[in-house]
C-alpha cells in the first residue's frame, strides 16, 4: 500500500512536470512575438529586408536581388567614426585593398595609360572618368576648362573640401615595353597623371560607400593641362573651387619606395617663369665695328649681370635660380647682327622673391642694353599662362596630411621631404585657399620603377594605387569629421 501511494504521488508529479514543459515555451514564444512587433514599430528601417522574407515565405527573384545588393553594400559598411580613430583609417585601407577594388582601379589606370592625351585634349580620359562617376551615382559638373570635371560626394552642405587629380599626358614616345604601353605615337603618361586620376576615382568609390559618414561635402577635381597649360587657373575661373575651403593633391614620386608618403610645411615646389628678351642694335660689318651698335656685347653683359641677382641681391638661405638657356645671334660669321634673342627660366620658393626676380630680370635686360646704346624688350609669356607661383603648403593642412598618412602607412613611412625646384600648377590653388601637396612613392627597383618623371622609361609600381585612393579618402573624410560642424 505504501509502495502504491508513493508510485501514485510520483505519477502526479511527473504529469504536472510534463504539463509545465509544454505550456512554458508557448508563453515565451508569445512574448517574443510581441516584443518583435514592438521593435518593428520603433525601428522599421532596420528590419525592412527581413520583413520581406518572413517565416514560411518562399523568397522571390526580387528578394534574392535585394539580398545581393545588401551583401554588396555590407562590404563597405563601417563603424561609427564621429570621433576619428585609427580604426577608421584602417577601415578605409581595408576597403581600398579588397581584391575586387584593386583589380578595378588598376584596370582604370591602364585604360588611361594606353590612351594618353595632351593638355586640353583629354576628351576620352574625361569621358572614362564621367562613366565611372555615373556608375557610382556621383553627381558632377562638366565641362570646366574644356575637359575638366567637378564632382561632389556627401551632404551637399558646408564644409567643402577638395581633392584634385591632373589628367594630361606628355609629348613623349614611351620606351617601356609592356602589355599596356601607350597606343598613341609620340604621347605618354610619363609623369604619372594616369595614376593620379585612377587614385582619385578609387577614392570616390570609397567615399561614396561611406557617404553617411561625411559631415559635409567632398569635391573631386579632375583637372586638365597641368603640364605647361595652367589648367588649374582655368578650372578656378570656371568655378571649381566654389565653396571649397581647403584642397589636397598627390603626386607619384620615384624618389620614395612604394607607399611611402612625403611632404613638408611651407614652400614645397618653386615658382617657375620663363622669359624671352630681344636686344636690338645696328647691324654692320664685323671688320668695322664702330659703324654698328653691337647687340651681342650688350646681350653678353646682360647674361653676366643676371647672375648677380641671385649671388648679390638674394638671401643665401633663400633658394633662387636664374638661367639663360638660349642665346641666338644668327650664323653670319662676318656681320654684327641687328638683334640677339635670349631665353631662359627663373625660379624661387617665395612668392615675393619670385615676382622680385621677374622685375629685376626685366630691369637688367633693359638697363644693360641702354649702356651699350641698344634697346631691349622682355616677354614673360603672361598671356600664355606660363608663370607658376610657388606651391606653398598651409601648416594646418600639412599637419592633417601627416596625421592621416601616419595612421595609414605608419609613422616610419611618412617623410619630411626637402623643397624641390620643380613647379606645379597646384600652386594656383594654394595661393587662394589653405592647401597641401604631398608625394606618394612608386620606387620599386625589381619592377624597374626607378626613372624620373618626363622620362620615356618612366613607369610606376601599381601597388601604389589602392594606397593613394585610401589616402585621398581618409584625408577628405577626416577633414570633414574634424573641421565640420
> What pLDDT, on a 0 to 100 scale, did the predictor assign at position 37?
36
> What pLDDT, on a 0 to 100 scale, did the predictor assign at position 27?
40
* Angle at the Cα of 27 from the Cα atoms of 21 and 30, rounded to 5 degrees: 145
Q: Judge if 375 and 405 occupy the same domain.
A: no
Q: Judge if 150 and 249 occupy the same domain.
A: yes
Q: pLDDT digit string (tens) for 274-328? A: 999 999 999 999 999 999 999 999 999 999 999 999 999 998 888 999 999 999 9
3-state DSSP: the chain helix, strand, coil percent, rounded to 5? 45, 20, 30
Q: Judge if 235 and 91 occupy the same domain.
A: yes
**Mean pLDDT along residues 211-237:** 95
> What pLDDT, on a 0 to 100 scale, did the predictor assign at position 222?
98
CATH code, 246: 3.40.630.10
Within a domain: 344:
yes
Q: Above 50 in pLDDT, residue 353?
A: yes
* Angle at the Cα of 176 from the Cα atoms of 421 and 166, rounded to 5 degrees: 45
Q: Judge if 198 and 299 occupy the same domain.
A: no
Q: Above 90 in pLDDT, residue 446?
A: yes
Last residue of a domain, one of 384, 405, 435: 384
Within a domain: 44:
no
Within a domain: 423:
yes
Q: Judge if 284 and 233 occupy the same domain.
A: no
**Mean pLDDT along residues 247-274:** 97
Q: Above 60 in pLDDT, residue 3?
A: no
**Residue 376 bridge partners (DSSP):** 279
Q: What's the CA gap between 321 and 270, in Å, rounded?
A: 10
**Phi-psi region for residue 418, left (φ > 0), alpha (ψ -120 to 50) or beta?**
beta
DSSP-assigned letter for residue 283: -
Q: What's the CA gap between 448 and 457, in Å, rounded?
A: 9
User: Among residues of the chain, what percentage have pLDDT more than 90?
Assistant: 79
User: Among residues of the chain, what percentage have pLDDT more than 70?
Assistant: 84
Last residue of a domain, one of 384, 416, 432: 384
For the chain, the residue count is: 485
**Mean pLDDT along residues 21-37:** 41
> What pLDDT, on a 0 to 100 scale, did the predictor assign at position 70?
36
> 420 is in which domain, residue-wise?
86-268+390-483
Q: pLDDT digit string (tens) for 131-184? A: 999 999 999 999 999 999 999 999 999 999 999 999 999 999 999 999 999 999
CATH code, 318: 3.30.70.360
Q: Which residue has the cell 578609387?
A: 202
Q: What's the CA gap between 217 and 242, in Å, rounded?
A: 12
What pLDDT band is residue 80 in, cutting at 50, 70 and 90? confident
Distances (CA, A) of 111 to 115, 120, 182, 254: 7, 18, 9, 22
**Mean pLDDT along residues 26-33:** 38
Q: Judge if 189 and 117 occupy the same domain.
A: yes
> What pLDDT, on a 0 to 100 scale, did the predictor assign at position 387?
87
104 HSE (CA, 13 A, CB side): 18
Q: Which residue has the cell 595632351?
A: 118
**Residue 273 bridge partners (DSSP):** 346
The answer to whether 301 touches 371, Cβ cutoff 8 Å, is yes
Q: Judge if 198 and 93 occupy the same domain.
A: yes
Q: How far apart are the first and last CA of the chain?
A: 86
> What pLDDT, on a 0 to 100 scale, did the predictor assign at position 379?
96
Within a domain: 59:
no
Reduced to 3 states (helix: H, G, I; strand: E, B; else coil), residue 377 is strand
In the chain, count H helices and then E strands.
Answer: 13, 16
Q: Above 90 in pLDDT, residue 91?
A: yes
Q: pLDDT digit string (tens) for 404-441? A: 999 999 999 999 999 999 999 999 999 999 999 999 99
**Mean pLDDT along residues 445-461:** 97
The answer to whether 244 touches 219, Cβ cutoff 8 Å, is yes
Within a domain: 197:
yes
Q: Domain count of the chain?
A: 2
Q: What is the separation of C-alpha 424 from the centre of its chain, rounded to a whole number of angstroms?
A: 12
What pLDDT band is residue 368 in, cutting at 50, 70 and 90? very high
The answer to whether 295 touches 279, Cβ cutoff 8 Å, is yes
The answer to whether 173 touches 456, Cβ cutoff 8 Å, is yes
Within a domain: 12:
no
Q: Judge if 299 and 370 occupy the same domain.
A: yes
Higher pLDDT, 23 or 349: 349
Q: Judge if 190 and 93 occupy the same domain.
A: yes
Give the chain's mean pLDDT.
Answer: 87
Within a domain: 54:
no
**Mean pLDDT along residues 455-464:** 98
36 HSE (CA, 13 A, CB side): 11
> What pLDDT, on a 0 to 100 scale, did the predictor assign at position 69?
40
> What pLDDT, on a 0 to 100 scale, did the predictor assign at position 13?
56
Q: Judge if 222 and 97 occupy the same domain.
A: yes
Q: What's the CA gap between 59 and 73, in Å, rounded?
A: 20
Reduced to 3 states (helix: H, G, I; strand: E, B; else coil), residue 387 is coil
Higher pLDDT, 74 or 219: 219
> What pLDDT, on a 0 to 100 scale, did the predictor assign at position 12?
57
Flag the least confident range among 33-37, 46-50, 459-463: 46-50
Q: Judge if 264 and 275 occupy the same domain.
A: no
Residue 287 phi, psi (nearest 5): -75, -15
Q: Judge if 302 and 223 occupy the same domain.
A: no
Q: What's the CA gap between 246 and 242, in Å, rounded?
A: 11
> What pLDDT, on a 0 to 100 scale, did the predictor assign at position 285?
96
Within a domain: 296:
yes
Last residue of a domain, one of 327, 349, 384: 384
Q: Which residue has the cell 613607369?
A: 459
> What pLDDT, on a 0 to 100 scale, did the predictor assign at position 416?
98
What pLDDT band is residue 383 in, cutting at 50, 70 and 90? confident
Amino acid at each position: 500500500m505504501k509502495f502504491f501511494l508513493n508510485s501514485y504521488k510520483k505519477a502526479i508529479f511527473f504529469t504536472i512536470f510534463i504539463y509545465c514543459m509544454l505550456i512554458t515555451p508557448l508563453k515565451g514564444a508569445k512574448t517574443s512575438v510581441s516584443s518583435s512587433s514592438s521593435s518593428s514599430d520603433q525601428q522599421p528601417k532596420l528590419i525592412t529586408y527581413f520583413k520581406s522574407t518572413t517565416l514560411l515565405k518562399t523568397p522571390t527573384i526580387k528578394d534574392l536581388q535585394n539580398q545581393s545588393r545588401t551583401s554588396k553594400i555590407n562590404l563597405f559598411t563601417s563603424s561609427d567614426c564621429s570621433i576619428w580613430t585609427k580604426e577608421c583609417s584602417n577601415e578605409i585601407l581595408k576597403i581600398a585593398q579588397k581584391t575586387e577594388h584593386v583589380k578595378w582601379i588598376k584596370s582604370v589606370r591602364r585604360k588611361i595609360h594606353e590612351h594618353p592625351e595632351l593638355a586640353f585634349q583629354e576628351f576620352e580620359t574625361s569621358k572614362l572618368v564621367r562613366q565611372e562617376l555615373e556608375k557610382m551615382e556621383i553627381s558632377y559638373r562638366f565641362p570646366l576648362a574644356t575637359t575638366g570635371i567637378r564632382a561632389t560626394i556627401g551632404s551637399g552642405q558646408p564644409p567643402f573640401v577638395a581633392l584634385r587629380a591632373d589628367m594630361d599626358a606628355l609629348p613623349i614616345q614611351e620606351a617601356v615595353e609592356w602589355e599596356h604601353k601607350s597606343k598613341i605615337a609620340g604621347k605618354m603618361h610619363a609623369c604619372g597623371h594616369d595614376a593620379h586620376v585612377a587614385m582619385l576615382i578609387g577614392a570616390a568609390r570609397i567615399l561614396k560607400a561611406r557617404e553617411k559618414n561625411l559631415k559635409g561635402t567632398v569635391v573631386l577635381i579632375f583637372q586638365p593641362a597641368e603640364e605647361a597649360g595652367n589648367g588649374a587657373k582655368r578650372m578656378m575661373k570656371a568655378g571649381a573651387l566654389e565653396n571649397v575651403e581647403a584642397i589636397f593633391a598627390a603626386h607619384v614620386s620615384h624618389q620614395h619606395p612604394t607607399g611611402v608618403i612625403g611632404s613638408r610645411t611651407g614652400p614645397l615646389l618653386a615658382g617657375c617663369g620663363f622669359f624671352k628678351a630681344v636686344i636690338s642694335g645696328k647691324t654692320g660689318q664685323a671688320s668695322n665695328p664702330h659703324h654698328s651698335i653691337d647687340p651681342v656685347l650688350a646681350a653678353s653683359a646682360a647674361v653676366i649681370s643676371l647672375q648677380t641677382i641671385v649671388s648679390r641681391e638674394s638671401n643665401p638661405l633663400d633658394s633662387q635660380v636664374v638661367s639663360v638657356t638660349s642665346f641666338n645671334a644668327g650664323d653670319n660669321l662676318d656681320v654684327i647682327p641687328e638683334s640677339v634673342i635670349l631665353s631662359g627660366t627663373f625660379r624661387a620658393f617665395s612668392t615675393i622673391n619670385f615676382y622680385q626676380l621677374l622685375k629685376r630680370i626685366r630691369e637688367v635686360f633693359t638697363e644693360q642694353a641702354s649702356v651699350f646704346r641698344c634697346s631691349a624688350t622682355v616677354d614673360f609669356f603672361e598671356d600664355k599662362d606660363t608663370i607658376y607661383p610657388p606651391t606653398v603648403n598651409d601648416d594646418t593642412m600639412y599637419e592633417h596630411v601627416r596625421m592621416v598618412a601616419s595612421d595609414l602607412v605608419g609613422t616610419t613611412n611618412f617623410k619630411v621631404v626637402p623643397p624641390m625646384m620643380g613647379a606645379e600648377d597646384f600652386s594656383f590653388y594654394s595661393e587662394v585657399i589653405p592647401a597641401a601637396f604631398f608625394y606618394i612613392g612608386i620606387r620599386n627597383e625589381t619592377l624597374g620603377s626607378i626613372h624620373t618623371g618626363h622620362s620615356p622609361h618612366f613607369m610606376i609600381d601599381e601597388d601604389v594605387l589602392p594606397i593613394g585612393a585610401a589616402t585621398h579618402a581618409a584625408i577628405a573624410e577626416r577633414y570633414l569629421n574634424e573641421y565640420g560642424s
